[in-house]
A and B are shown apart, each in its own frame.
Chain A
Amino acid sequence: MRKNIILCGVGGQGTVLASKLAAAAAMNRGFGVKTAETIGMAQRGGSVFSHLRIGDDIASPLIAKGQADLIIGFEPAETVRMLPYLKKGGSAVVSSRPIMPVSASIGASVYPLGEIMDYLKSRVENLTIVDSDRAAADLGSDRVLNVVLLGAAVRTGELGVTEEDVMEAIHQRLAEKFHALNEKALMYTADK
């Protein structure tokens, strides 16, 4: 098996933790894993990404353009920014909630949300949109969006791991007091 996954969003959203949980889940399955991510200055509310590569015989931690099986997008505009990495026929799981950068709030740049969502819908063959506001309301927490998205990503089948694998990873990597909420987030699907 070989899977290339990109996680992207805004610094502070928990992309790094989601990437680590997915990596740990894959390791628990016995797969080789390599990752690369943004650490440092860009974490301060800037665009961030993680490259996650699962499988054996992987030489480098970075994914080439057009080679990602799955993009887990924590933010619509950031997902569009990383779309050149998605392979033809690839999948994307995207949070519906835009995060306005300061540049847009003070009028120095624009955020055309409607166009951005339309672009995603027309360009991604297997697109899952997660209603983050609703998930936060249903779960009673704004802090587990990363695991909600990870759960949706697992259910696309493109991660090569199961919900149980991620659950195990949550138990391994998070403090016990966070287990219940994160498990709920992992299994969360909005009622239709």
Chain B
Amino acid sequence: MHKEFLMGNEAIALGAIAAGINLAAGYPGTPSTEVLETVAKRNPGGIHVEWSVNEKAAMEVAAGAAYSGARTLVTMKQVGLNVASDPLMSLEYIGVKGGMVIMVADDPGPISSQTEQDTRSFASFSKLPLFDPSSVSEAYTMIQDAFGLSERIKSPVFFRATTRVDHGYEAIDVKDTGEYNTNTPEGFIKDSSKWVIFPRLSVKNHALIEKRNAELSDELSSYPGNTVKAGDGKYPRLGIASHGVNWGYTLDALGGRLPRLLKIATPFPFPEKLAVEFLTDLDEVLCVEELDPVIERALTYVCGKYGLKVNIRGKLTGDIPPAGENNVDIVKAAVNRFLGETAEDDAKLPEPPPLPVRPPVLCAGCPHRASFYAVKQAMKGQKTVYCGDIGCYTLGNAQPLDMCDTCLCMGAGINIAQGIYHIEPDTKCFAFVGDSTFFASGITGVVNAFYNQADLTLIVLDNSTTAMTGHQPHPGTGVTAMGQIVEKVSTEAVLRAIGLTTVETVDPLDHKPAVETVKRAAAQPGVKAVIFRSPCVAVTKPKGRSKVNADKCVGCRRCIKELGCPGLTFRDGKAVIDDSLCTGCTLCEQICPVSAISGGEKNA
């Protein structure tokens, strides 16, 4: 053992490596991404690590390997689980041979997601056991327990952590390389009565799964992660139940006060026996939870089942906020109300002066800005709808660009644009999709639109990376998660193979040609594509930065008001470029009406 200062996701990865995984697959998504990155970085040698094209592919790759006796890890964010749910819901009935852990990162808030879905609820829906760690150190040991359980019950299990565990840092004890478990897969043994899903197999295995989960509920009542902490006698009839990082918030909020406490690390199968022990002789219980009221519902059910007269409180009773991320302050207020105690007076600060709003924006020099601006200029005066998608380019919705009219989920923009076209054929419909999103779930959308006779313009924003999640490679980059150089999958070739005849590629930072290309493409009938190709500024080095010639600048603010680049500000009647932000993209130079800006040299 040795000590390391680790991010939760790094600890999860090191735990999985220590458990002897043979394969890890995933798709990037905040807050899950660092798990797979760390497996790749700390790979002791024999682990196949891959960024799959999407979560469904990752789940299937991991399942195949686990059929062959490998220990496998799959990583994704909560909305990625929706993509992977098709193979998962069937895999539940088939099971695995080697241990298979599905690591899902949930995002209360949500901070970087579309939904506040709770994978704990998905666990009961899919009937798969779930581990919910409360800290970085617990995550490290618990992921190893998860592999043990999975292999023993021959079923995939969930390992769910939330943002504050995934992205929290802690100094923890981790195993040395010599202490790692090793697993030598037996290989795939043919047996069609086991590996081929048919209705009669499903019903047989369904019954076994229900029986297994009932047994697991008993067994998990003595799992060390699930605990009852006795109270100090001051609140003999009150109890608090919690989970995950909320367990820490609860302890901090209690600040030494000690009613009876219940910590739930395996919300499914719910440890009923332990819950009965906790509930006995209590009058009231507060459930401190994030996302769904999973523990609250389970305890309410246990009370009914065992005839216990305990008032279960939480989200459903309005004691805990129904939505959003919790924090120590929210939990403190709820705990104090529950214990009938008042908090020490918060020294209220006087109203601060008005503060500027500071939402995230496209980086200075981001090629997406140029792409959006080119389309905006090209389509000026026409009736248009701009369907966006998931990635940095969702930020194209902000003023002054205002170029994202819809955004739903990965790859959805293409067929949403198609749907709008069928109802509003006189509207010029555009779908913007990033390069990684195109491969993840855009291609089927293009096939659908092409086959079903849509009229729309597809804009592929190709910055040669998966930028939003921290620059992971994808099939179009020609690099794998393990750093291998491989043949690139060509976006142009894919689009042409589908049947598109207009597929034009242009550098969005060449403003005039970019505008002309969009005009030309949009005028064609059917589905046509423009690929805007320019690398993400976060992975390239600027060559020369733009400067404003103050003598020439007339202070018209056109650059600022048209582009909304964070590198451009206005001071003393002139535009000013922040040298530390400018990447020399030259877009402002190209639109300045008096040619007052020069010196930029864009990335190759």
Q: Which residues on A are within 8 Å of B, measured CB to CB?
A: 10-12, 20, 23-24, 27, 32-47, 58-66, 77-78, 80-81, 83-84, 88, 100-106, 108-112, 115-116, 118-119, 123, 142-143
Distance, CA A27 to CA B2, complexed state (A): 13
Shortest Cβ distance from residue B19 to the other chain A in the assembled complex, whole angstroms? 24
Question: Can you list 22 A-B contacts (CB < 8 A)?
Answer: A11-B360, A12-B363, A35-B168, A39-B30, A39-B167, A45-B360, A46-B360, A59-B248, A60-B164, A61-B168, A61-B169, A62-B249, A62-B327, A64-B253, A77-B355, A81-B355, A101-B356, A101-B359, A102-B566, A106-B400, A115-B353, A143-B580
Interchain CB contact under 8 A, A77 and B30? no
Asked whether any CB of chain A lies closer than 8 Å to the CB of B182, the reply is no
Contacts of A58 in B (CB 8 A): 252
Interchain CB contact under 8 A, B5 and A33? yes
Asked whether any CB of chain A lies closer than 8 Å to the CB of B267, the reply is no
Shortest Cβ distance from residue B486 to the other chain A in the assembled complex, whole angstroms? 28
- Residues B541-600 near A (CB distance < 8 A): 560-561, 564-566, 568-570, 579-581
Shortest Cβ distance from residue B367 to the other chain A in the assembled complex, whole angstroms? 14
Shortest Cβ distance from residue A95 to the other chain B in the assembled complex, whole angstroms? 13
Q: Which residues on B are within 8 Å of A, measured CB to CB?
A: 5, 30-31, 111-112, 136, 164, 167-171, 245, 247-253, 327-329, 332, 346-347, 349-350, 352-363, 392, 395, 398-400, 468-469, 560-561, 564-566, 568-570, 579-581
Contacts of B362 in A (CB 8 A): 44
Shortest Cβ distance from residue A140 to the other chain B in the assembled complex, whole angstroms? 13
Q: A33-B171, A60-B252 are in contact. Are A105 and B395 (CB under 8 A)?
A: no
Contacts of B250 in A (CB 8 A): 59
Could you say which of B111, B168, B395, B565 contacts A34, with CB atoms under 8 Å apart?
Answer: B168
With a 10 A CB-CB cut-off, give which of B31, B250, B358, B566 has the most chain A CB atoms.
B358
Interchain CB contact under 8 A, B167 and A44? no
Could you say which of B353, B358, B468 contacts A46, with CB atoms under 8 Å apart?
Answer: B358
Distance, CA A190 to CA B41, complexed state (A): 41
With a 10 A CB-CB cut-off, give which of A20, A44, A47, A143 has the most chain B CB atoms.
A44
Q: A41-B468, A64-B252 are in contact. Are A103 and B358 (CB under 8 A)?
A: yes
Known contacts A80-B355, A105-B569, then 18 further A-B pairs from the complex at CB < 8 Å, ordered by chain A residue = A10-B358, A12-B363, A23-B169, A34-B136, A37-B167, A38-B111, A39-B31, A40-B111, A45-B358, A45-B363, A61-B164, A61-B168, A77-B355, A80-B353, A81-B352, A100-B356, A115-B353, A119-B352
Could you say which of A11, A20, A60, A103 contacts B328, with CB atoms under 8 Å apart?
Answer: A60
Shortest Cβ distance from residue B125 to the other chain A in the assembled complex, whole angstroms? 27
Contacts of A46 in B (CB 8 A): 358-361
Contacts of A123 in B (CB 8 A): 349-350
Interchain CB contact under 8 A, B361 and A102? yes
Interchain CB contact under 8 A, B245 and A42? no
Of all chain A residues, the one with the shortest Cβ separation from B351 is A119
Shortest Cβ distance from residue A173 to the other chain B in the assembled complex, whole angstroms? 10
Shortest Cβ distance from residue A10 to the other chain B in the assembled complex, whole angstroms? 7
Interchain CB contact under 8 A, B353 and A78? no
Could you say which of A36, A63, A103 contacts B356, with CB atoms under 8 Å apart?
Answer: A103
Distance, CA A59 to CA B353, complexed state (A): 34
Interchain CB contact under 8 A, B111 and A66? no
Interchain CB contact under 8 A, A110 and B354? yes
With a 10 A CB-CB cut-off, give which of B247, B329, B362 has the most chain A CB atoms.
B329
Of all chain B residues, the one with the shortest Cβ separation from A43 is B360
Of all chain B residues, the one with the shortest Cβ separation from A76 is B355
With a 10 A CB-CB cut-off, give which of A34, A35, A61 has the most chain B CB atoms.
A61
Shortest Cβ distance from residue A18 to the other chain B in the assembled complex, whole angstroms? 13
Of all chain B residues, the one with the shortest Cβ separation from A77 is B355
Distance, CA A123 to CA B350, complexed state (A): 9
Interchain CB contact under 8 A, B5 and A24? yes
Of all chain A residues, the one with the shortest Cβ separation from B169 is A35
Of all chain B residues, the one with the shortest Cβ separation from A52 is B169
Contacts of A105 in B (CB 8 A): 560, 564, 566, 568-570
Contacts of B111 in A (CB 8 A): 38, 40-42
Contacts of B358 in A (CB 8 A): 10, 45-47, 77-78, 101, 103
Distance, CA A61 to CA B165, complexed state (A): 9
Shortest Cβ distance from residue B162 to the other chain A in the assembled complex, whole angstroms? 11
Interchain CB contact under 8 A, B363 and A44? yes
Distance, CA A24 to CA B6, complexed state (A): 11
Distance, CA A77 to CA B354, complexed state (A): 9
Shortest Cβ distance from residue B364 to the other chain A in the assembled complex, whole angstroms? 8
Interchain CB contact under 8 A, B564 and A106? yes
Q: A24-B5, A46-B358 are in contact. Are A41 and B112 (CB under 8 A)?
A: yes
Contacts of A100 in B (CB 8 A): 356, 569
Q: A59-B248, A78-B358, A109-B356 are in contact. Are A40 and B168 (CB under 8 A)?
A: no
Shortest Cβ distance from residue B401 to the other chain A in the assembled complex, whole angstroms? 10
Contacts of A40 in B (CB 8 A): 30-31, 111-112, 468-469
Shortest Cβ distance from residue B112 to the other chain A in the assembled complex, whole angstroms? 4
Shortest Cβ distance from residue B536 to the other chain A in the assembled complex, whole angstroms? 11
Distance, CA A10 to CA B580, complexed state (A): 13
Could you say which of A36, A66, A112 contacts B347, with CB atoms under 8 Å apart?
Answer: A66
Interchain CB contact under 8 A, A111 and B356? yes
